Chains A and B, each alone.
Chain A
Amino acid sequence: MALDFLKRIFNPNNVTIALDDIQALILRSRPVPYYGTVAVFEINDATQAKLILKELLPIITSAKDWHKNEGASVTLTFTYKGLEKIGLPKDSLDSFPEAFREGMAKRAPFLNDVGVNDPKYWEKDFKNATIHIAAAVIANSEEHWKTKLQEFRAKFSNNKGLKLLKSHDFGATEEVKNVFGFRDGISNPEIEGSGIDTPPGFDRPLKTGEFVLGYPGEGDITKPYPQPDILGKNGSFLIFRKYQSQVADFNKYIQENSRNPQEGELLAAKMVGRWRSGAPLVLSPDKDDKELGDDPHKNNAFSFKNDEFGKKCPFSSHIRRMNPRDSKTFVLEDERLHRIIRRSVTFGDIVPPDVTKDDGKERGQYFMGISANAMGTLEFLQKQWANDGNSQNLGTEKDPMIGVQDSEGLFTMPADPLVKRYRGLQTFNIVKGGEYCFIPSLSALRWISEL
């Protein structure tokens, strides 16, 4: 069964955090296959919204039994404007980080959301920052999804306190691939105290405070968190970004810059850092290896330590930029500080590699990332690792997959006998909107509902 491999090893003796107070999304992997809905709301009336919240409380799922990943889970998050509208006291509102209070669109200069990614081109709910609440129902079967979604909808069908702005169904079957046709979402950090047992050879779990508010993080530093304690502790932050994927442009670029399909596949893999199957270049540098890509025990068991010149996996490749895994560093950076837990979902269909003409259809990814320092982490990743090259010793070169390309559009690929330099890359994933959300603990949700 496809599900079995995603069951991470759980040891109840390793649990040191309040799993039954933390929302499930933070710890539960995306099931395979998965079925789900994301919905965003505006609060019309705070009193009514609090009544709905009280009604919803029993079906919001906690992280207890996250390792079983059974049935459906319901997640509920608030934007800053949502917290303001529902009536959080001023000193609580002021205790949230500045970037969260400003919202993602306003932070564009700190996120390098410029050019085609400029918020002025975003979808209107994101551009105007009208979203107050974002919720998700995610399940491991169509049946569970439909039942839970119905239950969720029933809670506010007769109430005008919330206005549904947008809702989007999504899903993926056994093979979890993005619209470029690459297996996605393979690597996620584990959290200390969640009960995880990491096999030898795997990264040790990251300190709890990197992902859950109110606990010490790496370096044993407990960052300030929203106050009072009941509001902030056991919560976290969610990054939401909608990407439109320009797959035909990507395919066209690959075709025009390679002599034959094999060379094209290699170039595409070098940009990503993995082959279509998910097999990492470090473990299979010359050709795709489907068996390796399919094997969850092997497809993530590698580091860049023995690829010091990037001849297997380029420094500029997407996966090496986003998680340098023991790469030689050119700038003092702690790679354990800049991780996010990804819960992204794909929308739209896969475009085969031979299609080079855009059909104009919407397709891409709802990127969902979780971190206790989500805003700072996203700003760091966007500015230092995705849209610059100094950390990789590559000048101003950008991430070939998620960077906003300039007129040069450079991609450097170490090779023998001579390094290859590709020019004219376009922005293959365009941001169409995004927002920061607070993932309150279950007790915080109750506290908010009783304000």
Chain B
Amino acid sequence: MSVLDNIKLTAELVKANFSEGIDDGYDHSTTSAGKKGLRSGRVSELTAIANLKPGGAENLKKIMEIANGNLKGATKVGTLHDLRIVLLDNDTKILFCTAYDGDWDAYIDDFATKIPQLMDIIFGNVEGWPGIKDPSVKQFILDHQITATGWYVGVPHLTVNDVRRNDKIITGLNKVIDDANKIEK
């Protein structure tokens, strides 16, 4: 891109941000989330593409159908904002995306002792998956991870735990308010 084009694009973005955007006071800037991936505030992204084993797509579809969104293992992890599984290229590849708090690689050992079956049931459908207990698993994930080009988080400074805690506080406060406003008849 020429210097002139660059200036032009910057100017357009500044203009669009000014006329159409707003500032919520949060710091949305991105940094590296480790060896790969981006982080904004407390929330990081992990995006990976890998080949599936024959029949892997069928298995994954079945697993997701049975779970119907209720991935209790994901809830147990406690740091997952969301995760997404997309099948690509006629069900031969998987695109895996997740937004999570903090670091994932520090927790690989914990996954291996606490939720090994869940991890292997899902990722065992991926070609070459060494198994969650295998020492090479961190490298396997890194090898398939692609750092996102763009990463935006609406509320970057709150973890899943923070959101759950705040939700409980608000529920409690609302109950107090409702009780106080109750009209005795």
Partner-B contacts on A (CB < 8 A): 218-219, 221, 223-224, 329-334, 336-337, 373, 376, 379-380, 383-384, 388, 390, 393, 395-396
Chain A residues contacting B79 (CB-CB under 8 Å) are 331-332, 390
The answer to whether A393 touches B165, judged by C-beta atoms less than 8 angstroms apart, is yes
Please list the 3 inter-chain residue pairs (A to B) with the smallest Cβ-Cβ separation, ordered nearest first.
A219-B113, A331-B78, A332-B77
The docked-state distance in angstroms from the alpha carbon of A376 to that of B110 is 12
A220 nearest in chain B by CB position: B133
Q: What are 26 A-B contacts with C-beta separation under 8 Å?
A: A219-B112, A219-B116, A221-B113, A221-B133, A224-B135, A330-B78, A330-B161, A331-B79, A332-B107, A332-B111, A332-B114, A332-B115, A334-B109, A334-B114, A337-B110, A337-B113, A373-B109, A376-B106, A376-B109, A383-B102, A383-B106, A390-B79, A390-B161, A393-B161, A395-B159, A396-B42
Which residues in B have their C-beta under 8 angstroms from that of A224? 135
In the complex, what distance in Å separates the CA atom of A336 from the CA atom of B114?
A: 11
Contacts of A331 in B (CB 8 A): 77-79, 107, 161
Q: B114 — which chain A residues lie within 8 A by C-beta?
A: 332-334
Instruction: Render B142-185 as a binary contact track against A, CB cut-off 8 A, 1 for contact.
Output: 00000000000000000101100100000000000000000000
Report yes or no: B106 in contact with A384, Cβ–Cβ below 8 A: yes
Residues of chain A lying within 8 A (CB to CB) of residue B162: 390, 395
B91 interface residue (CB < 8 Å to A): no
> A329's closest neighbor in chain B, by CB?
B78
User: Of all chain B residues, which has the CB nearest A219?
Assistant: B113
B45 at the interface (CB under 8 A from A): no
The verdict on A332 contacting B76 (CB below 8 Å), with A337-B110, A393-B161 known, is yes
B103: interface (CB < 8 Å): yes
Given known A219-B133, A224-B135, contact A337–B161 (CB-CB < 8 A): no
* Complex CA–CA separation, A384 to B159 (angstroms): 13
Chain B residues within an 8 Å CB radius of A223: 135
Complexed CA–CA distance, A266 and B115 (Å): 39
Q: How far is the CA of A390 from the CA of B42 in the complex (A)?
A: 10
**CB nearest to B106 among chain A residues:** A380
Interface size class of B (residues with CB under 8 A): 20 to 34
Cα A351 to Cα B77 with chains together (Å): 43
Tell me the smallest distance from the CB of A217 to a CB of chain B, in Å.
Answer: 9
Q: Given A329-B78, A393-B161, answer yes or no on A334-B113 (Cβ-Cβ < 8 Å).
A: yes
Complex contact B103–A390 (CB within 8 A) = no
List 15 extra interface pairs beyond A218-B113, A332-B78, A332-B79, CB under 8 A.
Answer: A219-B113, A219-B116, A219-B133, A221-B113, A223-B135, A330-B161, A331-B77, A332-B111, A332-B115, A334-B114, A376-B106, A383-B103, A388-B102, A393-B161, A396-B42
User: Are A384 and B102 touching (Cβ within 8 A)?
Assistant: yes
Q: In the complex, which residues 90-123 of chain B have their Cβ closer than 8 Å to any Cβ of chain A? A: 101-103, 106-107, 109-116
A218 to B76 CA separation, bound complex (whole angstroms)? 20
**A141→B159 CA distance, assembly (Å):** 52
Give the CA-CA distance A380 to B111 in the complex, in Å.
Answer: 14
Residues on the B chain within 8 Å of A332, using CB: 76-79, 107, 110-111, 114-115
Contact call B103/A384, Cβ cutoff below 8 A: yes
A309 to chain B, nearest CB (A): 13
Q: Which residue of B lies closest to A222 (CB)?
A: B135
Min C-beta distance of B46 to chain A, whole Å: 16
Distance between Cα atoms of A333 and B161 in the complex (Å): 14
Complex formed: what's the CA distance from A110 to B79 in Å?
19
Expressed in whole angstroms, the Cα–Cα distance for A89 and B83 within the complex equals 45
Q: In the assembly, what is the distance between CA of A388 and CA of B107, in Å?
A: 15
Contact across chains for B110 and A334 when beta carbons are under 8 A apart: yes
- Chain B residues, Cβ within 8 Å of A383: 102-103, 106
A337: B residues at CB distance < 8 A: 109-110, 113
A393 — which chain B residues lie within 8 A by C-beta?
Answer: 161, 165
Residues of chain A lying within 8 A (CB to CB) of residue B113 = 218-219, 221, 334, 336-337
Q: Give the Cβ gap from B17 to chain A, nearest Cβ, in Å.
A: 28
Contacts of B116 in A (CB 8 A): 219
How far, in whole Å, are A331 and B76 apart by their CA atoms in the complex? 7
A360 vs B135: C-alpha distance when bound (angstroms): 47
Name the residue in B79, B101, B106 with the highest tally of chain A Cβ atoms < 10 Å from its Cβ. Answer: B106
Residues of B within 8 A of A395 (CB): 159, 162
Q: How far is the CB of B171 from chain A (nearest CB, A)?
A: 16
Report the bound CA distance from A219 to B113 in whole Å.
5
A110: min CB distance to chain B, Å = 9
Contact B101 A390 (CB under 8 A): yes
Residue of B nearest to A390 (CB): B159
Q: How far is the CA of A336 from the CA of B112 in the complex (A)?
A: 13
A330 to B102, CA, bound (A): 14
CB distance from A386 to the nearest CB of B (A): 13
Q: How many angstroms from the CA of A221 to the CA of B109 in the assembled complex?
A: 9
Q: Roughly how many angstroms separate A60 CA and B107 CA in the complex, as a whole number? A: 36
CB proximity of B34 to chain A, nearest CB, Å: 9
* B106 cross-chain contacts in A, Cβ below 8 A: 376, 379-380, 383-384
CB contact under 8 A between A221 and B110, given known A384-B102, A390-B79, A390-B161: no
Do A333 and B112 have beta carbons less than 8 Å apart?
no
Q: How far is the CA of A228 from the CA of B33 in the complex (A)?
A: 34
By CB atoms of chain A within 10 A, which of B76, B101, B109 has the most?
Answer: B109
Query: CA separation between A394 and B24, bound complex, in Å?
Result: 23
**Cα–Cα distance between A380 and B77 once the two chains are bound (Å):** 16
- Write the nearest CB–CB distance from A95 to chain B, whole angstroms: 12
The interface residues of chain A lying within 8 Å CB-to-CB of B102 are 383-384, 388, 390
In the assembled complex, how far is the CB of residue B121 from the closest CB belonging to chain A, in whole angstroms? 16
Question: In the bound complex, what is the Cα–Cα distance between A383 and B76 (angstroms)?
Answer: 21
A221 to B134, CA, bound (A): 8
Which residues of the other chain, A, contact B135 by a CB distance below 8 angstroms?
A: 221, 223-224
